[in-house]
Amino acid sequence: MRRPSELVSTATAHTLRRSRMTLMTAVVATVGLTACGTESAGTDAGLKAGGAEDRPGTAFSKMLDEVAETCPADGPPQAPPTGPQNPQPPGAQETPPSDAVEPIAPTAGPEVELNARDWCAGHLHEERVTQALWDLKNPSPADVRTILNDLGYIDERIHGLRKSGTATRFSLDLRDRGGRLCMAGSAAGTRTVVDMCVAPATGPFKPGRRKQ
* Averaged pLDDT, groups of 10, the chain, 212 residues long: 49 49 47 46 43 69 95 66 50 55 54 86 96 93 97 97 95 93 95 94 80 57
Rounded CA-CA distance 196/110 in Å is 10
Residue 51: the pLDDT is 42
185 forms beta bridges with 170, 194
Domain-by-domain residue ranges, the chain? 1-34, 57-85+96-210
The pLDDT value given to residue 16: 45
Q: Is residue 72 exposed (0-12), middle (13-18) or buried (19+ Cβ within 10 Å)?
A: middle
Q: What is the pLDDT of residue 84?
A: 47
What pLDDT is recorded for position 177?
87
User: What is the pLDDT, as a whole number, of residue 198?
Assistant: 93
pTM (predicted TM-score): 0.61
